[in-house]
Amino acid sequence: MGEAQVERLNRVFRALADPTRREMIRRLATQDLTVTELAEPYQMSLAGASKHIKVLEDAQLIHRSVRGRMHICSLDPATLASVHEWIRFYESFWNEQLDALERELNET
């Protein structure tokens, strides 16, 4: 894995470390939302919500388009797919390790 890919994963995991941002991602998985709509359920200012959105944009998890005066946020599924691929590699690794441990335990 190249240095750029590692940095991209780091940005994604930093972005997803925050529960508010994870919830924003979950909501965007069902539909595009304006910044105001994304901020609505949280007790924070629009500026505070915009900071969260900026972190998600920097991690390339979402993108924002401007339609007139409205800023529309959309999920970028490609970034989540690349993270899922990375996680699947380690899932496979740990499954193999646990299967080997199970075989060892069954042999004794």
Q: Is residue 67 domain-resident? A: yes
DSSP track, 56-106: HHHTTSEEEEEETTEEEEEE-HHHHHHHHHHHHHHHHHHHHHHHHHHHHHH
CATH of residue 30 = 1.10.10.10
Lookup: tokens for 20: 């508010």
81 belongs to a structural domain? no
User: What is the structure's pLDDT at 95?
Assistant: 80
72, part of any domain: yes
Number of domains in the chain: 1
Number of residues assigned to the chain: 108
Quote the tokens at residue 71. 């800023």
pLDDT at 4: 82
Residue 91 falls within a domain, yes or no?
Answer: no
- 51 three-state secondary structure: helix
pLDDT single digits (tens) 56-84: 999 999 999 999 999 999 999 988 888 88
Q: What pLDDT does 20 receive?
A: 96
pLDDT in tens, 10-58: 999 999 999 999 999 999 999 999 999 999 999 889 999 999 999 999 9
Higher pLDDT, residue 93 or 11: 11
Give percent of the chain above pLDDT 70. 100
> Could you tell me if residue 61 is inside a domain?
yes
Has residue 108 got a pLDDT over 80? no
CA–CA dist 18, 40 (Å, integer): 17
Structural domain boundaries enclosing 17: 3-76
| Residue 106 domain flag | no
Structure confidence at residue 75 (pLDDT): 96
Phi, psi at residue 2, to the nearest 5°? -75, 165
Is the residue at 29 inside a domain? yes
Asked if the structure places residue 53 within a domain, the reply is yes
